[in-house]
C-alpha cells in the first residue's frame, strides 16, 4: 500500500486535506494506514546520500559507545536508566542502522524510528555538551525526523501542524484577516486603560517589527496586547506585518524541511517589505531557533543572518529595563521565592542565560530568586520540547518526561515559575495538571506590566 487517505508521502497542501486529516480524531485511521505503508528504500537511500553532510557521517563513525552521554539525557534519568534511553544507543539503533543498511529497512523499523525520534528525544541538544567528541544527538535526531517525514512516518499532530503552515502560513488556522482583526480588537480592548495604545500593522521603516506565535492570536490574544502595552510604555516605534507575523515552525518539529524554508522566507519577506531597523520575536524558544538560528541557513543566506538584526523578546526586555525605557516600581517587585525555566532553544543554543537573569534582577526582590539545579545552559528540557507536548500518541511518555522538571521545581521550594517560552509554559502547565504540586507559572510580559512605574501622561485621566 504506497499511500492512503491520511498517511501519504506527500505533504498536506490544501484546506480540504487538512479538514480530512483533522476529522480523523486522534489519528486512528492515520496510524492504521501507517501500518501498511511501504518504505521506498531507493528514495530513502538517495535522500541520505544527497543530504547527509560530513559532520553527521563523522559523528556516527566516531561514537565510542562509551555511554558518557547517558546521564546528560533527562529521558534516560526518568525512564529507569535503561540502556535503550542512552542517547548514543538511540541514534545508532535508528539513523545508524538506516545508513548501514543503505535505506533497506521495513515498516516496523520505521515505526520504531518514529517512536524513538519523537518520544525519546526532544532535540534539546544537552547531550552534545557532555559527549567527549562533541557529538550532538539532538541535531542528528532532527535530521532523522526529516527522513522519516519524507516516507510518511510522522506523528499525526505534526503532520497537521506542518500542513497548517503550508495552507495558512501559521501553525494554526489563523488567516491574515483573523490576525489583523485580532490586533485591532486587542488595541480597542485596552485603549481605555492605556490611552493612545496602538498595534500598528504594516508600518514601513519602524524601529521594530514584532513577530509572534500563532497560538497567541488563536488562544492567548492578551499576549499580543501585553507586548503592545510594553512597547507603548517604552515609547517604541514598532509594527507588526500583516503577512509574515508567524514566527514558529511546527514543520521543524515534523521534519518537513521544504516547509521550514518556506516559513522563514515568509517572515524574511515581511522584513524586506517593511524595512524595520530590527525584529523582535515573542517569548518562544523554538520560534527563535527556527527564524534566527536555523532560519538563515534554510533560506540560503550566505552570511548566516536574517535580513535585519533579529533578537528574542528577553533581549529587548532586558535592554528596555537597562536603558530606563521601562521602570519598575520597587514596591511591586516579586517578594516570594521564584525560579526560572531556561529555554533550551535560546539559552543552551544561543547563550542568552545572562539576559534572563538581568531581567530577574529588576523584577525580583533580592534574596527571593532561587536557581534550579542544574541551571542556565546545563538546565534540563521542560519535558515537552521538540513537539513532544502536542503528540497524543506519546502522551504517557511525555507525562513521565515531565517528572524531571517537576523534581527540579520541587527542590527549589518555589511556588512561582517564570517560563519565557511557549513550550516550557505549556509543559509546566501540564506538569501542574498531572502532578498537582501547587505551583503557578507565567511569561515575563504580565509580570512586568503588573509592576511598572508608568509615567502619568500614559495613564488614563482621573475621573
Strand order in the sheet with 338-340: 338-340, 416-418, 440-442
The secondary structure of residue 311, as a DSSP letter, is E
- Scanning the structure block, which residue is given the C-alpha cell 493612545? 196
User: What tens-digit pLDDT sequence spans the chain (463 residues)?
Assistant: 345 566 678 899 999 999 999 999 889 999 999 999 999 999 999 999 999 999 999 999 999 999 999 999 999 999 999 999 999 999 999 999 999 999 999 999 999 999 999 999 999 999 999 999 999 999 999 999 999 999 999 999 999 999 999 999 999 999 999 999 999 999 999 999 999 999 999 999 999 999 999 999 999 999 999 999 999 999 999 999 999 999 999 999 999 999 999 999 999 999 999 999 999 999 999 999 999 999 999 999 999 999 999 999 999 999 999 999 999 999 999 999 999 999 999 999 999 999 999 999 999 999 999 999 999 999 999 999 999 999 999 999 999 999 999 999 999 999 999 999 999 999 999 999 999 999 999 999 999 999 999 999 999 988 5
Coil, helix or strand for 212? strand
User: Measuring CA to CA, how many Å separate 83 from each of 48, 88, 388?
Assistant: 27, 10, 21
Q: Classify domain 39-153 by CATH architecture.
A: Orthogonal Bundle (1.10)
What is the model's pTM? 0.96
**Residue 240: closest CA among 271, 195, 261, 219:** 271
DSSP letter assigned to residue 209 = E
CA 435, 440, 446: angle at the middle one, nearest 5? 150
Coil, helix or strand at residue 447: helix
Return the C-alpha cell found at 411.
527542590
* 364 in Cβ contact with 395 (< 8 Å): no
Q: Using only C-alpha atoms, what is the Rg of the chain?
A: 22
d(CA 117, CA 90): 8
Amino acid at each position: 500500500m504506497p499511500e492512503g487517505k491520511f498517511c501519504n508521502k506527500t505533504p498536506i497542501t490544501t484546506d480540504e486535506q487538512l479538514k480530512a486529516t483533522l476529522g480523523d480524531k486522534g489519528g486512528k485511521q492515520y496510524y492504521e494506514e501507517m501500518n501498511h505503508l511501504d518504505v521506498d528504500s531507493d528514495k530513502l537511500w538517495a535522500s541520505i546520500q544527497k543530504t547527509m553532510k560530513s559532520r553527521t557521517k563523522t559523528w556516527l563513525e566516531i561514537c565510542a559507545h562509551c555511554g558518557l552521554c547517558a546521564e546528560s539525557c533527562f529521558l534516560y534519568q526518568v525512564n529507569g536508566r535503561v540502556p535503550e534511553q542512552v542517547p548514543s544507543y538511540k541514534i545508532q539503533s535508528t539513523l545508524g542502522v538506516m545508513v548501514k543498511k543503505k535505506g533497506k529497512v521495513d515498516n516496523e523499523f520505521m515505526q520504531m524510528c518514529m517512536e524513538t525520534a519523537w518520544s525519546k528525544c526532544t532535540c534539546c541538544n544537552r547531550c552534545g555538551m557532555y559527549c567527549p567528541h562533541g557529538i550532538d544527538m539532538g541535531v542528528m535526531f532532527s535530521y532523522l525526523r526529516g527522513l522519516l517525514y519524507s516516507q510518511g512516518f510522522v506523528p499525526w499532530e505534526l503532520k497537521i501542524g506542518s500542513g497548517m503552515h503550508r495552507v495558512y502560513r501559521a501553525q494554526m488556522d489563523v488567516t491574515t484577516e483573523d490576525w489583523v482583526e485580532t490586533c485591532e480588537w486587542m488595541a480597542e480592548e485596552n485603549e481605555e486603560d492605556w490611552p493612545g495604545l496602538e498595534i500598528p500593522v504594516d508600518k514601513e521603516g519602524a524601529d521594530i517589527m514584532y513577530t509572534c506565535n500563532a497560538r497567541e492570536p488563536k488562544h492567548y490574544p492578551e499576549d499580543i496586547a501585553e507586548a503592545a502595552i510594553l512597547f507603548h510604555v517604552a515609547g517604541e516605534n514598532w509594527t507588526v506585518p500583516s503577512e509574515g507575523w508567524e514566527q514558529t515552525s511546527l514543520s521543524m518539529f515534523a521534519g518537513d524541511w521544504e516547509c521550514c524554508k518556506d516559513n522563514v522566507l515568509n517572515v524574511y519577506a515581511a522584513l524586506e517589505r517593511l524595512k524595520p531597523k530590527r525584529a523582535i520575536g515573542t517569548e518562544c524558544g523554538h520560534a527563535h531557533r527556527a527564524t534566527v538560528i536555523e532560519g538563515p541557513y534554510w533560506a540560503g543566506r550566505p552570511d548566516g543572518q536574517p535580513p535585519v538584526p533579529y533578537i528574542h523578546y528577553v533581549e529587548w526586555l532586558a535592554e528596555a529595563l537597562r536603558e530606563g525605557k521601562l521602570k519598575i516600581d520597587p514596591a511591586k517587585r516579586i517578594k516570594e521565592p521564584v525560579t526560572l525555566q531556561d529555554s533550551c532553544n535560546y539559552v543552551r543554543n544561543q547563550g542568552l542565560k545572562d539576559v534572563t537573569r538581568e531581567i530577574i534582577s529588576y523584577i525580583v526582590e533580592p534574596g527571593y530568586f532561587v536557581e534550579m539545579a542544574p541551571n542556565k545552559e546545563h538546565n534540563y528540557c521542560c519535558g515537552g520540547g521538540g513537539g513532544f507536548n502536542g503528540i497524543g500518541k506519546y502522551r504517557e511518555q511525555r507525562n513521565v518526561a515531565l517528572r524531571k522538571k517537576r523534581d527540579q521545581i520541587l527542590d527549589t521550594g518555589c511556588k512561582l515559575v517564570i517560563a519565557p517560552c511557549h513550550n516550557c509554559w505549556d509543559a509546566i502547565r501540564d506538569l501542574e495538571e498531572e502532578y498537582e504540586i501547587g505551583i503557578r507559572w507565567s511569561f515575563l510580559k504580565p509580570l512586568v506590566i503588573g509592576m511598572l512605574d508608568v509615567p502619568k501622561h500614559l495613564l488614563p485621566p482621573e475621573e
